[in-house]
C-alpha cells in the first residue's frame, strides 16, 4: 500500500530545505582537514594529505583536561577530548576557548572520542558504556556495552553513519540512533577495529587478526583468517588491500587471503606498542628503541633516510603512534616530552629531525601513548599530566581554494562530470592534481585550469573528488573535495513494500505470520536502518518512534540497489503498523528521502481481504451488506 503525499508540498519542502542548507553553509567556515577519530580514518592509517608549514608556534595550551593516555579529535574547527577523570571537553581550535555546554560527564577512561560528522554526534567509550552526545553537549543516548579494558588512546570507529566498538568480549555495530545492528564474539579490549571496504578487522591482542563482514558481523574463517601473528595492542592499519600490524616486528598481510607479504624488525616490542601510520606507499612505525622506521608498503624495504636517529636517547615509554601529514612525520618522543617533526620518506630531508617542541608535564611518563593529531594547519599534542597543546603552523597568505562537481548538483546519471576548480588567492598556482583517492595515489600533476572534464570511477554510489594545487615556488595548498551521487536514476525515491516469503506484495497479515520486505532505488550494497512502528500520521521532520520488537532492524541492498526479499519479523503481532527505511540514518522521517509503507496484522484465522466460506443460506440484503462491511479492508 503506497503512502501518498501532496507533490506541491514535497516540492516546497525540498526548496525550503535547500534554502536552509545554503544559508547554513554560507554561515559556517569550511575547514580543510578534519581528524574525526583516533588514527583519523576508518582504516586507522594515522595520515592526512595536508601540508604543515614550519616552524610551529604554540598558540594555546589547556591544562584543564586530565590526560592519562587520552586522545582528541577535530571537526569543523572544534577539538573534542576525553579525560581520564570522566569528562568530554570541547575547545575552539582557533582560540582554545571552551565550547558552551562542555565539559560533559562520561566516565573514567583513557581513550579518544569519535565524531560522526554526517549525523552530528560525538561518541565516547567509558565505564562500560557507549555515550552519544549531540554537538551542543546534550546527551543523545547511552548504551551499556560491557568492559572496554584500558582502551589506551583508542576509541570508536565511524563508517557510513554507523559506529563500531570493541567491548564486553564482542565487536559491535550501532546505528546513529543507538540501535544495535549486530554483535560478534571477539577477544581484545585495549584496541579498536579498522575498516576497509566490506570488512572489519580487529586485533585479538593475543596473536590473532580477525576479519568480519561489515553488513552482517559474521566472522570470516576461511582464506587465511584469522591471521596468526605476534601479540600486542597495536591497531591494524588497513589500506590499499593490505593489513599493517606492529607486534614483535612490523608485519604486512594481504587483506583478501591473509597471506604474509613481509615482516621487518622495527625497534623491538613492548607491552604497549604503538600503531603504524601509512601514507603515500610508506609504512611508519615508532620503535621501542626510540627510532622511527619507514618501509615500502609493497616490499617492506627500508626507505632512504630511515631508520632515523634515536629520538629519545635518555628515556623510555616510546609507545607513541606516528602521525603523517603530507611531507612530514610527527611523533611524541616518549619521556623526552618533545614533539618531534621529521621529513617524510621520499623528501629531501627524509628521516631528518626538522623541528622539535618542548611541552611540559610533572608526570615523568611524558607522551606515553598520547599520539599527535593534525587538522587544518594545527598540530595537537597531548601528554600525561600535561594537558592539550595546540601548535599552529607558520601560515601562508594563500587563502581560498575549492572544487565543485557539476555546478554543485547532488546527483548525476552520467559517469562524466564537469569540475569547476578554484586555486584561491595564490596567483602563482601553475599545477593541480585530481583524484578520487584523498592521498592522490597514482595521480599526476597537470597544468592548472578553471574547468576540467572528469570521469567518475565505475559503480553507482557517492563519489568524492579531491584536488590539490601547487604554485611555481613548490608550495602546496590544502586538499579540497566535493561529493556527488552517481546513480542510475537520480529522480527516483527509494521504496519499500511488505511481502510474503515469496516476495509477493502483501499489506495484510494474520497474527503470527512472518513478514518480509522488498524495495528499489537504493544505493548498491548498502545497509539501512529499518523501523516498524505503530501506525501514525507522518509529517516531514518527525522523529521516528520506538520500534516494535523485530527479527531484523536493518536491511541491505544488493549490487543493483534493490532490497531482496528480507525477513523483518518472525512472528507478527496484532496491530496496524508503518514500516520505514531511514535512508539517511538520522532517526527522522524525511519526505522524499526515506521509504515508507503500511501494513495490518489481524487476529482472525483468515485475512481481512479474503471472504471465508460459509454454508449457503438466504440472507436479507441488509445483512449481506453488513457482512461485506465487516470484512472490508481498512482504509487510511
215 pLDDT above the threshold of 90: yes
| pLDDT for the residue numbered 604 | 61
Greater confidence, 548 or 190? 548
Separation between Cα atoms, residue 375 and residue 389, nearest integer Å: 13
CA torsion sign, 347 to 349 to 352 to 358?
Answer: negative
Confidence of residue 25 (pLDDT cuts 50, 70, 90): very low
Closest among 34, 49, 45, 52 to 357, alpha carbons compared? 52
User: Measured between alpha carbons, how far is 199 from 211 in angstroms, rounded to an integer?
Assistant: 7
Question: Between 26 and 463, whose confidence is greater?
Answer: 463
**Whether residue 216 has pLDDT greater than 80:** yes
Beta-carbon count within 10 A of 397 CB: 6
Whether residue 627 has a cis bond before it, omega within 30° of 0: no
Tell me the HSE value of 217 on the side-chain side, using a 13 A CA sphere: 18
Residue 518 grid coordinates: 522488498
- Give the pLDDT score at 612: 42
Interatomic CA distance for residues 633 and 466, integer angstroms: 54
Question: Rounded mean pLDDT of 179-197?
Answer: 90
The larger pLDDT score, comparing residue 96 to residue 621, is at: 96
pLDDT digits (tens, 9 = 90+) for 101-110: 999 999 888 8
> What pLDDT digit, counting tens, does each position of 153-162 carry?
689 999 999 9
Instruction: Supply the pLDDT for residue 149.
Output: 76
Q: Which helix (H) or strand (E) holds 544?
A: none
Partners of residue 195 on adjacent β-strands: 200
Could you tell me the pLDDT band of residue 631, with boundaries at 50, 70 and 90? very low
202 vs 189: CA distance, rounded Å: 10
Q: Which three cell numbers stand for residue 486?
A: 552517481
The confidence band for 200, taking pLDDT boundaries of 50, 70 and 90, is very high
State the DSSP code for 301.
P
Q: Which of 233-242, 246-255, 380-389, 482-491 has the lowest mean pLDDT?
A: 482-491
Instruction: Pick 472 or 250 by higher pLDDT.
Output: 250
The yes-or-no verdict on residue 287 having pLDDT over 50 is yes
Tell me, what's the pLDDT at 26?
A: 28
547 CB neighbour count, 10 Å cutoff: 16
Q: How far is CA 224 from CA 246, 253, 257, 523, 630, in A?
A: 19, 10, 5, 31, 62
| Mean pLDDT in residue range 21-35 | 43
pLDDT category at 187 given cuts 50, 70, 90 is confident
Which are the contacts of 8, defined by CB distance < 8 A and separation ≥ 6?
Answer: none
At residue 12's C-alpha, the angle toward residues 9 and 17, to 5°, is 125
Q: Which helix (H) or strand (E) holds 584?
A: none
Which residues share a beta bridge with 283?
278, 295
Q: What is the pLDDT of residue 425?
A: 81
For the cut 80, the answer to whether the pLDDT of residue 385 exceeds it is yes
- C-alpha triplet 141, 144, 145: angle, nearest 5°: 120
- CB-CB contact of 282 with 345 (8 Å): yes
By the 8 A CB rule, do 1 and 636 touch? yes
- Please check the confidence at residue 529 and state whether its pLDDT lies above 60: yes
The span from the CA of 369 to the CA of 391, in Å, is 19
What is the number of alpha carbons within 13 Å of residue 431 lying toward its C-beta?
Answer: 12
The stretch 513-522 carries a mean pLDDT of: 93
Contact (Cβ atoms closer than 8 angstroms) between residue 332 and residue 311: no
* 295-313 average pLDDT score: 96
pLDDT of 89 reads: 94
Q: Determine how β-strand 170-174 pairs with β-strand 353-358.
A: unpaired
What integer best gives the mean pLDDT of the chain?
Answer: 85
Q: C-alpha grid cell for residue 248?
A: 614483535
Burial class (CB in 10 A: 0-12, 13-18, 19+), 507: middle
Cα-atom radius of gyration of the chain, to the nearest Å? 27
Task: Report d(CA 471, CA 338) in Å as an integer.
Answer: 33
Q: DSSP assignment of 443-500, as one string?
A: ---EE--SEEEEEPPSSSEEEEEEEEEEETT-PBPPPEEEEEEE-S-TTPPPEEEEE-
Return the closest-CA partner of residue 484 out of 548, 533, 414, 395.
414
pLDDT grade, residue 363 (50/70/90)? confident
- Supply the pLDDT for residue 182: 97
Evaluate if residue 271 carries a pLDDT over 50. Answer: yes
The full DSSP string for 78-130 is EEEEE-TTSEEEEEETTT-PBPTT-SEE--------EEETTTTEEEEEETTEE
The average pLDDT across 505-521 equals 92
Closest CA to 72 of 54, 53, 91, 85: 91
Contact 91, 79 (CB under 8 A): yes
User: Residues 315-349, buried b or exposed e (16+ Cβ, 10 A)?
Assistant: bebbbbbbbbbbbbbbbbbbbbbbbbbbbbbebee
pLDDT for the residue 270: 60
Checking if the pLDDT of 111 tops 50, the result is yes
The predicted model gives 493-522 an average pLDDT of 92
Give whole-number Cα distances, 574 to 302, 499, 500, 511, in Å.
Answer: 67, 17, 17, 5
Q: How confident is the model at residue 540 (pLDDT cuts 50, 70, 90)?
A: confident
The b-or-e profile of 183-211 (16+ CB within 10 A means b, else e) is bbebbbbbbbbbbbeebbbbbbbeebbbb
User: To which H or E segment does residue 214 belong?
Assistant: none
- Distance, CA of 593 to chain centre: 21
**pLDDT bucket at 438, cuts 50 / 70 / 90:** low
Sign of the four-CA dihedral 97, 100, 105, 109: negative
Q: What is the DSSP letter of 634?
A: P
Nearest to 48 by CA among 36, 29, 35, 30: 35
Residue 242 has pLDDT above 90, yes or no: yes
Three-state DSSP class for 180? strand
Interatomic CA distance for residues 283 and 294, integer angstroms: 5
The reported pTM is 0.62
**Structural domains of the chain in order of their starting residue, each with its CATH number:** 47-392 (2.130.10.10), 397-486 (2.60.40.10), 492-630 (2.60.40.1930)
Question: Count H helices, E strands: the chain?
Answer: 2, 50
Buried b or exposed e, range 415-453, using 16+ CB within 10 angstroms: eebebebebeebeebebbbbbeebbbeebeeeebeeebe
Q: Distance between CA 425 and CA 365 in Å, rounded? A: 45
- Of 63-67, 271-275, 603-607, minimum mean pLDDT range: 603-607
Gap between the Cα atoms of 519 and 256, Å rounded: 31
Mean pLDDT of 143-172: 89
Amino acid at each position: 500500500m503506497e503512502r501518498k503525499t501532496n507533490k506541491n508540498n514535497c516540492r516546497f519542502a525540498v526548496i525550503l530545505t535547500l534554502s536552509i542548507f545554503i544559508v547554513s553553509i554560507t554561515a559556517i567556515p569550511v575547514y580543510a582537514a578534519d581528524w574525526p577519530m583516533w588514527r583519523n580514518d576508518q582504516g586507522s592509517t594515522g595520515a592526512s594529505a595536508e601540508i604543515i608549514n614550519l616552524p610551529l608556534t604554540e598558540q594555546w595550551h589547556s591544562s584543564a583536561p586530565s590526560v592519562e593516555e587520552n586522545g582528541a579529535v577535530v571537526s569543523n574547527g572544534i577539538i573534542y577530548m576525553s579525560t581520564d577523570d570522566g569528562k568530554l571537553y570541547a575547545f575552539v581550535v582557533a582560540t582554545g576557548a571552551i565550547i558552551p555546554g562542555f565539559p560533559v560527564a562520561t566516565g573514567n577512561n583513557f581513550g579518544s572520542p569519535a565524531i560522526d560528522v554526517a549525523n552530528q554526534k560525538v561518541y565516547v567509550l567509558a565505564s562500560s558504556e557507549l555515550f552519544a552526545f549531540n554537538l551542543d553537549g546534550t546527551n543523545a543516548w547511552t548504551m551499556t556495552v560491557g568492559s572496554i579494558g584500558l582502551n589506551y588512546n583508542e576509541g570508536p570507529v565511524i563508517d557510513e553513519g554507523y559506529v563500531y566498538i570493541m567491548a564486553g568480549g564482542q565487536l559491535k555495530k550501532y546505528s546513529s540512533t543507538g540501535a544495535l545492528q549486530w554483535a560478534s564474539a571477539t577477544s581484545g579490549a585495549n584496541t579498536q577495529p579498522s575498516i576497509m571496504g566490506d570488512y572489519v578487522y580487529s586485533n585479538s591482542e593475543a596473536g590473532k587478526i580477525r576479519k568480519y563482514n561489515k553488513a552482517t558481523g559474521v566472522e570470516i574463517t576461511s582464506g587465511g583468517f584469522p591471521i596468526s601473528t605476534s601479540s600486542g595492542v597495536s591497531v591494524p592499519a588497513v589500506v590499499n588491500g593490505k593489513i599493517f600490524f606492529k607486534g614483535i616486528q612490523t608485519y604486512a598481510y594481504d587483506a583478501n587471503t591473509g597471506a604474509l607479504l613481509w615482516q621487518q624488525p622495527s625497534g623491538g616490542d613492548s607491552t604497549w606498542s604503538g600503531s603504524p601510520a601509512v601514507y603515500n606507499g610508506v609504512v611508519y612505525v615508532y620503535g621501542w628503541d626510540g627510532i622511527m622506521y619507514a618501509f615500502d608498503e609493497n616490499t617492506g624495504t627500508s626507505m632512504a633516510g630511515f631508520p632515523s636517529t634515536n629520538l629519545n636517547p635518555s628515556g623510555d615509554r616510546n609507545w607513541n603512534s606516528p602521525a603523517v601529514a603530507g611531507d612530514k612525520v610527527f611523533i611524541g618522543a616518549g619521556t623526552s616530552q618533545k614533539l618531534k617533526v621529521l621529513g617524510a620518506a621520499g623528501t629531501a630531508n627524509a628521516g631528518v629531525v626538522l623541528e622539535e617542541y618542548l611541552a611540559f608535564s610533572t608526570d615523568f611518563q611524558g607522551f606515553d601513548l598520547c599520539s599527535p593529531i593534525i587538522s587544518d594547519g594545527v598540530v595537537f599534542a597531548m601528554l600525561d599530566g600535561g594537558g592539550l597543546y595546540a601548535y599552529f603552523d607558520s601560515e601562508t597568505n594563500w587563502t581560498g581554494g575549492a572544487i565543485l562537481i557539476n555546478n554543485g548538483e547532488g546527483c548525476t546519471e552520467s559517469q562524466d562530470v564537469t569540475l569547476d576548480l578554484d586555486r584561491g588567492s595564490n596567483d602563482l598556482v601553475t599545477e593541480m592534481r585530481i583524484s578520487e583517492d584523498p592521498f592522490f595515489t597514482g595521480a599526476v600533476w597537470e597544468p592548472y585550469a578553471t574547468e576540467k572534464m572528469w570521469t567518475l570511477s565505475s559503480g553507482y554510489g557517492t563519489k568524492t573528488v579531491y584536488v590539490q594545487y601547487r604554485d611555481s615556488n613548490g608550495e602546496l595548498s590544502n586538499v579540497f573535495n566535493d561529493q556527488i551521487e552517481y546513480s542510475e536514476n537520480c529522480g527516483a525515491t527509494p521504496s519499500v513494500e511488505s511481502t510474503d516469503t515469496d516476495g509477493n506484495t502483501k499489506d495484510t497479515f494474520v497474527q503470527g505470520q512472518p513478514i518480509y520486505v522488498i524495495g528499489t532505488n537504493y544505493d548498491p550494497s548498502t545497509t539501512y536502518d529499518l523501523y516498524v512502528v505503530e501506525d501514525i500520521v507522518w509529517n516531514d521532520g518527525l522523529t521516528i518512534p520506538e520500534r516494535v520488537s523485530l527479527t531484523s532492524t536493518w536491511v541491505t541492498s544488493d549490487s543493483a540497489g534493490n532490497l531482496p526479499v528480507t525477513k523483518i519479523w518472525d512472528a507478527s503481532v496484532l496491530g496496524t503498523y508503518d514500516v520505514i527505511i531511514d535512508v539517511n540514518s538520522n532517526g527522522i522521517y524525511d519526505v522524499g528521502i526515506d521509504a515508507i509503507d503500511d501494513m495490518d496484522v489481524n487476529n482472525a484465522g483468515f485475512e481481512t481481504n479474503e471472504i471465508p466460506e460459509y454454508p449457503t443460506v438466504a440472507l436479507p440484503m441488509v445483512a449481506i451488506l453488513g457482512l461485506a462491511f465487516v470484512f472490508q479492508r481498512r482504509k487510511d
